[in-house]
Amino acid sequence: MLRARTLRDEGQRGAASSDIAEVQSLIMLHLKKGADPNVEGGIEDPHKWVRPLADKTTVTSVPLEFALHQVTFFGRECGREVWWRIVTALIQMGAHPDLLKGRLRDASPWLNDIIGTSSCRGPELEKILRSLPASVANSATTVRLGSPFYTQVLESPLGAALAAQYSEGLKALIDAGADVNVATCTRWGPKRGPSIKPRAPLLLALETRQWEAAEILVQGGADTKCVREEFEGVRGTPACLQECPATLLSLIWPALTASAPLESG
């Protein structure tokens, strides 16, 4: 049986030696011996040091969940690469992303963190995102924004994808059942600062000039009324829409008014 504890021991060895090929071979060896990559197992809580002494110090996780958590937990690039190779190996050997919960307890929300990790973005991550249960794709995570005085806000996976300007990830989350109309905070807002007030994903996309993301959201069912409500009373074209492609504008504005297009200037 392949357990998260086994992954931890082998991964730490690889991160220390930077011998990625050796680590991958060890994990593959466990799998080829018949280990089930979808069986949950206990593992020492990576965040036990922030918990009360009376709290449990173990978590239960499928190996893929623990490996994904470790990708974002490691600060060094070599460590992240080791764990991403392990993630890839687990999926190739039959690990099911639809068993993922998006976190190792509340203190370890790997999903939003991995969306924000540029080296992880690509077809493999998008495959994982598409396979997530809808409950995970819609699960907001508490993040701390601002320094030196932190504010805790809720950021959805869609919010994390918009903050990272990751259109393909956004599309994958929508395919998994993410609700495109649920307001969210983000780590990065229109001027690269945090968006502390929850806002509709479509508004966040438009305000950051992410035209492709905005079109993906509209095609995914985003209610464009939020745009009219946001800019009600504004004369002329709102600043964030002045460079909006005509094709996208035609998707947004007809739903707001059937009487006239946006004025220019």
| The pLDDT of residue 260 | 42
Which residues are registered as beta bridge partners of 61? 41
State yes or no: cis peptide before 157, omega within 30 of 0.
Answer: no
| The pLDDT of residue 83 | 83
For the chain (length 265 residues), average pLDDT per consecutive 10?
51 49 60 74 54 54 86 72 84 89 69 88 93 92 69 89 95 97 81 74 94 96 91 80 87 56 42
| 36 belongs to a structural domain | yes
| The pLDDT of residue 61 | 81
Which residues are registered as beta bridge partners of 205? none
C-alpha atoms less than 13 angstroms from C-alpha of 180 in its C-beta half-sphere: 24
| 66 belongs to a structural domain | yes
Which range marks the domain in which residue 41 is found?
A: 1-108
| The pLDDT of residue 132 | 93
| 9 belongs to a structural domain | yes
| 156 belongs to a structural domain | no
| 85 belongs to a structural domain | yes
d(CA 79, CA 117): 13
| The pLDDT of residue 246 | 86
Amino acid identity of 194?
Answer: P
Number of domains in the chain: 1
d(CA 106, CA 39): 21
d(CA 123, CA 203): 27
Read off the pTM: 0.79
d(CA 234, CA 118): 37
| The pLDDT of residue 58 | 65
| 194 belongs to a structural domain | no
Phi, psi at 19, each rounded to 5°: -90, 85
**Residue 44: its H or E element:** strand 41-44
Please choose, from the candidates 106, 28, 118, 127, the residue with its C-alpha nearest in 3D space to the C-alpha of residue 71: 118
| The pLDDT of residue 1 | 43
Contacts of residue 25, defined as CB under 8 A and 6 or more positions apart, other chains included, come to none
| The pLDDT of residue 106 | 56
68: number of Cβ within 10 Å: 29
| 27 belongs to a structural domain | yes
| 37 belongs to a structural domain | yes
